[in-house]
Amino acid sequence: MPLAIQTFDNKTGGNAFYKAIAHPLAAEAAARLIADLVGAGPVALYDPDGYGEGLAALHDLTALDIRGVFGQRLDRLGEMVLGHVARPVSELGASGAARVLVAAFDAERAIGQIRHLLPAGAVAVSLDAIRLPDAMLTNHRRYLDPLNFATNFAFFREADGLHTRLTTANYWSGYGGVAIAVWCRLFAGDGQALATWQEPVASDGASLVIDSGDVRRRFGLGPFTGQLFLHVIGAVGHDVVKYALDVTSDDGLTLSSSHDANAWPSDRYAGLPAPSEEETVILWLQNSHPSPIPPGAIGLNVMGKSRVAWLDRKVAPFASLALDTRRLHGESAWPSQFEVRAGKHMVRPRYEIVGGNGRRRIAHVNVERADLAPDPGLAQLSSRMGKGFILAGPLLPPARFRSELLPTPMATCQAELPIAALVYDATGREVARHNFGRLARAGCVAFDLAPLVAEGRLQTEWGHIELVYDFAQGGDGDGWLHAIFRYTERASGHAAETSFGAHIFNTVLVYGNEPQSYSGPPPGLSTRLFLRLGVSPLDTFCHLIYPASTPWHPVSATDLALYDGRGRKLAERRVEIACGGSLLWRQSLMFDAGERRAAGDRGYVVVRDTTCRLFGYHGLSDGAGAFSLDHMFGF
C-alpha cells in the first residue's frame, strides 16, 4: 500500500502540507514534539483539516497514548483515523487528555475556537511547533503557501572518481524575487546529514553552481553517494526548483546529464529500461522522507505483466540504495522495460546504466498517472489541431550515432498506444514515417530508427523525430504520451538517453491546458529555455526543435543570449529554424573565444523566442567520443 499522503494533484497542484511535514528541519522538530507529547500523558488529536493520517505516515505516532480523534466537518465524522473513529470536537472534553495535538499550521484561530472544550488542565499544541524559521519563508502570513516550500532533491555523488555538478539560475528574480538564497543539506547514503549550509545567489539572473568536489573540500568530507536537499528561500512566481545535473568521471568513461527530480513522490513510475546482456541497470532508491521505507514497499514489474518483485529490505530515512534491477527482477532484458512500484516513498528516481565497456550514463523514470482515462476527443483533434500531441526528440547525425526510440506507457489506463513515428530533416521536411498501429502495453519495445532514416534518405546532417497519435486503425489515447530516446556513438560505444512527454505545439487554439504555458493560461507560444555551459574543455551543444501541431510562422526568430555567472549579458546571436525543423549548434562555434572566456565555467545561455514554442535538448562533448544528452528546462 502506498503512503497515506497527498502530494500532487493534476487539478489542484502540489500539496504544501506534505512538504511542510517532510522537510528535514520539520522532521527534527517533529521528533522533539512527539517526545514531549509522550512524556506529557494521554493525547487527543484534533484534526480539523484531515491532515492526521498524512502526519502519521511520515512521523511515528505509535508511542502516543491517543485517547481519541476529533474533527470539525460533519461529513467526515465516523471515519477511521489512526485506528479511532473520528468524533465531533464538541466531545473533546470527555477524552481525559492532558495534551490536545491540533494537526494544523497557523492554528491560533483553530485553538481559540475550541479552548473552552479542552479537558480540565489540558494544554493545546499544534504543528506550529515544527514550523521552519521565519527567515526561510516567503509568505509569513500563510505558512502553507507553496512558495514557502520551493524544495527539491538531487542525486549527489563524489566517490570512486565520479563527480556531480548541479547548475541553475536565479529565474525567481524575473518574477520579482529579491535576496534569493538556497538552503542545502547533504545526506549520506545511510541517510545521515553530512553538511548543512546556505548558498547565496549573488544577483538577478545569477547562476547557481553546486559542485560535489567543492562541497567535499569545503566541509572536509570523505567520499559520498547520497542526495542533496534544496530549499529556495525567497522564491517568487515559481515554486518548482529546476536544475541541470552533470555526472563526470576522472577516467573519461562517464559523461552524462540529468535534471530536476520532480519534487512530488508518486505511487508509480515507468520508463525504466531493462538491462541488455552486457549492462547493469541500477535504480537509485532515494528515500525522500523522515520515515523509513519498510520491506516490501518497493517493487518492479515488467511493463504489461502483473508479477511484482518486491524489495525485501528497509531503506532508512533520507537514505540511498543502489538497486540492481537484474538481481531483483531478472525476467526482462532490453529492449523491454519495467514499471516501478514506489508507494510515494521517493521523488522521481534516477537510474544508472553501466555498460560492459565501463561507460556510465544516468537518466530518470517518469511519473505514471493513475487519474487518467481514454479521451475520445483526441481522435477528432486532426480536424482542428493537425498532429495534435507531439513528442519531439533529436535525430543526431546518423553516420555517427545510432538512435533508438522506446515508447513508454505512462498511465495505468494505457492498454495500448496507437502511435506513429515521423522523421523530419532540419528544414522541416517529413522524410519517413513508421506506423506502429495499436501497440500493446506489453509490446512496447525499442525501435531502431536506422532503417527508417535510411528509407527517408535524409538530406541534412541532422533532423528530429516526432511521436504522434495515429488512430487510423482505431484505439484511444489520453494525451500522456511518453518515450525514451537513446543514442549511441558508433565509434566509442558511449551512450546517452533522455525521456519526456508529448504536448501540443504552436497553435493558437486551446485543448484542455494545451499548448501549455509556463506562466499564465494556455496557449504557450513563446520560448525561454536555460542552457548550462560545461566546464572547459568540454564543449556544449544544443538541439532546438520547432514542432508545430498546425502550420505556424515559417521560421523562428530565436535569440541565443550568453550570460556570465553574475547574470550579465555578454553576447547575443539570432538564428532561424524552419517550422517543423531543427537546429543543432555548438557553443564553441556560436560564440567567439573572448565571449566564451568572459562567460567562464558558471556562464549560461538563455534561448528566447517570442514567436513560437521550441523544445530543446542540451549536451556536453569531450571531443573523444563521450557525450551527454538531456532535455532542457524552461521558466
| pLDDT (mean) for 252-263 | 93
296, pLDDT greater than 90: yes
- Which H or E run includes 418? strand 416-425
460, pLDDT greater than 80: yes
9, pLDDT greater than 80: no
Instruction: Give dist(CA 424, CA 454) in Å, integer.
Output: 12
Helix or strand or coil: residue 29? helix
- pLDDT at position 179, please? 85
519, pLDDT greater than 80: no
Which grid coordinates belong to 151?
524544495
Whether the ω angle into residue 292 lies within 30 degrees of 0, i.e. cis, is no
- pLDDT at position 237, please? 87
| pLDDT (mean) for 474-478 | 94
Q: Say which range, 340-344, 369-373, 379-383, has the weakest mean pLDDT.
A: 379-383
- pLDDT at position 10, please? 72
226, pLDDT greater than 80: yes
378 burial level (CB within 10 Å; 0-12, 13-18, 19+) = buried
Could you give the percent of the chain with pLDDT greater than 90?
91
Burial letters for 189-219: b for 16+ Cβ neighbours within 10 Å, e otherwise? bebeebbeeebebeebbbbbbbbbeebbeee
- Give which of 544, 500, 546, 507 is closest to 523, Cα–Cα: 507
| Residue 331 burial (CB count, 10 A) | 14
Q: How confident is the model at residue 635 (pLDDT cuts 50, 70, 90)?
A: confident
Output the average pLDDT for the chain.
95
Helix or strand or coil: residue 504? strand
252, pLDDT greater than 80: yes
Tell me the per-residue pLDDT of 562-609, one tens digit each, with 9 for 90 and over.
Answer: 999 999 999 999 999 999 999 999 999 999 999 999 999 999 999 999
Helix%, strand%, coil% for the chain, nearest 5: 20, 40, 45
> What is the phi-psi region of residue 317: left when phi exceeds 0, alpha when psi lies from -120 to 50, beta otherwise?
beta
Is the Cβ–Cβ distance between 14 and 150 less than 8 Å? no
- pLDDT at position 116, please? 95
Is the Cβ–Cβ distance between 353 and 11 less than 8 Å? no
Q: What are 484's strand-pairing partners? A: 406, 499
Cα 217–219–224 angle (5° rounding)? Answer: 75
238, pLDDT greater than 90: no
Q: What single-letter amino acid sits at 113?
A: Q
457, pLDDT greater than 90: no
| pLDDT (mean) for 101-108 | 97
Sign, CA dihedral 259-261-262-263, equals: negative
Instruction: Give dist(CA 107, CA 346) in Å, integer.
Output: 29
Whether the ω angle into residue 223 lies within 30 degrees of 0, i.e. cis, is no
Tell me the per-residue pLDDT of 122-133, one tens digit each, with 9 for 90 and over.
Answer: 999 999 999 999
Q: How confident is the model at residue 410 (pLDDT cuts 50, 70, 90)?
A: very high
pTM confidence score: 0.95
Which residues contact residue 271 at a Cβ distance below 8 angstroms, ignoring those fewer than 6 apart? 337, 365, 366, 406, 408, 410, 482, 484, 499
Instruction: Give dist(CA 340, CA 271) in Å, integer.
Output: 9
Q: How confident is the model at residue 14 (pLDDT cuts 50, 70, 90)?
A: confident
- pLDDT at position 123, please? 96
| pLDDT (mean) for 490-496 | 97
Which residues contact residue 300 at a Cβ distance below 8 angstroms, ignoring those fewer than 6 apart? 272, 283, 308, 309, 325, 328, 329, 338, 339, 340, 341
| pLDDT (mean) for 487-501 | 96
Place of cell 512524556: 39
| pLDDT (mean) for 487-510 | 96
Q: How confident is the model at residue 152 (pLDDT cuts 50, 70, 90)?
A: very high
325, pLDDT greater than 90: yes
Instruction: Give dist(CA 249, CA 263) in Å, integer.
Output: 27
- pLDDT at position 331, please? 82
Instruction: Give dist(CA 374, CA 477) in Å, integer.
Output: 5
3-state secondary structure 266-312: CCEEEEEECCCCCCEEEEEEECCCCCCECCCCCEEEECCCCCCEECC
Which grid coordinates belong to 455?
528509407
CA–CA distance from 324 to each of 282, 316, 319, 403, 566 (Å)?
5, 18, 16, 25, 41
- What domains appear along the chain, each with residue ranges and CATH number? 8-133 (3.40.50.720), 150-339 (no CATH), 376-634 (no CATH)
547, pLDDT greater than 90: yes
Instruction: Give dist(CA 526, CA 541) in Å, integer.
Output: 21
- pLDDT at position 518, please? 79
| pLDDT (mean) for 399-408 | 96
Which grid coordinates belong to 413?
489506463
Q: Say which range, 204-218, 313-327, 506-520, has the weakest mean pLDDT.
A: 506-520
| pLDDT (mean) for 339-361 | 96
